[in-house]
C-alpha cells in the first residue's frame, strides 16, 4: 500500500482521531510505521503448517539495484574474480572460457532456522552438453576463497548446493563403456547438496556423486521465465525446492533430516567455466529467519554444534589440531571481513 493511500485511509477514521489525541508524536510515528510495514508485506508472515513465521533479514539479502556492491566498503556483499554488477543482475561468470566469479555476504549468519531464496538464470550459446559448468550456493565457514569447486575452495566446511549443468561422469562412462547401469544415470542439469567438515574433496569426475546427500534433475538452462531455488534449514532438517517451470510453484528436490550446521557461517554463491561456458547470473538472494516452536526435548537435541555433520553419515575426522581451528569461535564483528 502506498504511503499516500495509507494516510487517506487513516485520516477519516473515527478511532484514529480519538487515539491521536491521547498519543505523543513519537507514539503516533511508531504506530504509523507498524501499519506501513504490515501494509507493505515487510512484517512477519506465517508460512507452512503450525506456528512458523518468516522475517526478511536484509543484512543477508540482496536485490536490485545492487547499490555499492563491489565498489563500496560499506556494502554487505563482496565480489570476487570475474563477477560484475549489471543493472538487472549480478553476473558471476560470462559466457567465456576459463572464468570464475563469486558473490559473498560479509555478515556471518547466526540464525537457528532459516530459508534462502535464490533467483538465478543460466544461459548461453552452447548447444546440448556443450556448456558449463554451473553455479553453487554456499553456507560455509570460509568466504572469498577461490578454488576448483564451482569457483570455491575444495574441502570446504559447511553446506554446498550445486546446480551442475555439465555431466562429467557421463563422458567418463562413455570412455569406459559405462561402468554403471542405466537405472542410476542422472539427467543434467542436476541439483545436488553436500555437507563437509573440511575432510572431503568434491569429485569432479563423478559430478560429486560419492558425497552427495541427494539430488534431482532441474532443466534450468536457456529458459524464458524466472528460475528459483529455495534452501530451508529448520530443526536440523534440510529441504531444497525449486520453481523452474514458470508456474510459481515449489517442487521438491532434496530432503535430508539430521543435518547439523553451526551458526556463524557465511552465505555466498559462485560459478566457474572451463573449456565450456555459460552466463551465470544471480538476480536476488533473500534470507528469511524462521521462528519455529520447539518442545523442551527438541531444545535439548538441537543444541549448537561446532562442526557440520549429518546423522547416519560418517564423515572422515580431521586431525585434532585442524578440528580445533575449524571449531574455534568466530569474531563477532558484524563486518565479518577476513
- Give the model confidence (pLDDT) of 151-178 as tens digits: 999 999 999 999 999 998 765 554 444 4
Q: What is the model's pLDDT at position 171?
A: 56
Q: What is the mean pLDDT of residues 265-273?
A: 98
Could you tell me the three cell numbers for 264?
556463524
Q: What is the model's pLDDT at position 127?
A: 80
Least confident window among 7-11, 160-164, 203-207, 281-285: 7-11
Calculate ∠ Cα 274-275-280, nearest 5°.
50
Question: In the chain, where are the structural domains located?
Answer: 3-43, 52-327
Q: What is the model's pLDDT at position 72?
A: 87
Q: What is the pLDDT of residues 80-109, one digit of tens each?
A: 999 999 999 999 999 999 999 999 999 999
Q: What is the mean pLDDT of residues 312-333?
A: 54
| CATH of region 52-327, choose from 2.60.120.200, 2.160.10.10, 3.30.70.1530, 3.40.1180.10 | 2.60.120.200
Measured from the Cβ of residue 173, the count of other Cβ atoms closer than 10 Å reads 15
Amino acid at each position: 500500500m502506498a504511503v499516500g493511500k495509507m494516510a487517506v485511509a487513516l485520516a477519516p477514521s473515527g478511532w484514529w482521531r480519538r487515539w491521536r489525541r491521547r498519543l505523543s508524536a513519537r507514539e503516533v510515528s511508531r504506530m504509523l510505521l507498524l501499519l506501513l510495514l504490515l501494509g507493505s508485506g515487510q512484517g512477519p508472515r506465517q508460512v507452512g503448517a503450525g506456528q512458523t513465521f518468516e522475517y526478511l533479514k536484509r543484512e543477508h539479502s540482496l536485490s536490485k539495484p545492487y547499490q555499492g556492491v563491489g565498489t563500496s566498503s560499506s556494502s554487505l556483499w563482496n565480489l570476487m574474480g570475474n563477477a560484475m554488477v549489471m543493472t538487472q543482475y549480478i553476473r558471476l561468470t560470462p559466457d567465456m572460457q576459463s572464468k570464475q566469479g563469486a558473490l559473498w555476504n560479509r555478515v556471518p549468519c547466526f540464525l537457528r532456522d532459516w530459508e534462502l531464496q535464490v533467483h538465478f538464470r543460466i544461459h548461453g550459446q552452447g548447444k546440448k552438453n556443450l556448456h558449463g559448468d554451473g553455479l553453487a550456493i554456499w553456507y560455509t565457514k570460509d568466504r572469498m576463497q577461490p578454488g576448483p569447486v564451482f569457483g570455491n575452495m575444495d574441502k570446504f566446511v559447511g553446506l554446498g548446493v550445486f546446480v551442475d549443468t555439465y555431466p562429467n561422469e557421463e563422458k567418463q562412462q562413455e570412455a569406459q563403456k559405462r561402468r554403471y547401469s542405466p537405472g542410476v544415470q542422472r539427467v543434467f542439469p542436476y541439483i545436488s547438496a553436500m555437507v563437509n567438515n573440511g575432510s572431503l574433496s568434491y569429485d569432479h569426475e563423478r559430478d560429486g556423486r560419492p558425497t552427495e546427500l541427494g539430488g534431482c534433475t532441474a532443466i534450468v538452462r536457456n529458459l524464458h521465465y524466472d528460475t528459483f531455488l529455495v534452501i530451508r534449514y529448520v530443526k536440523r532438517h534440510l529441504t531444497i525446492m525449486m520453481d523452474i517451470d514458470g508456474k510459481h510453484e515449489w517442487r521438491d528436490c532434496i530432503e535430508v533430516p539430521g543435518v547439523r550446521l553451526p551458526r556463524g557461517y557465511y552465505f555466498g554463491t559462485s560459478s566457474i567455466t572451463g573449456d565450456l561456458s555459460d552466463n551465470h547470473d544471480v538476480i536476488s538472494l533473500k534470507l528469511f529467519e524462521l521462528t519455529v516452536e520447539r518442545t523442551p526435548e527438541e531444545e535439548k537435541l538441537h543444541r549448537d554444534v561446532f562442526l557440520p555433520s549429518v546423522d547416519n553419515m560418517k564423515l572422515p575426522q580431521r586431525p585434532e589440531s585442524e578440528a580445533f581451528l575449524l571449531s574455534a569461535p568466530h569474531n563477532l564483528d558484524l563486518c565479518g571481513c577476513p
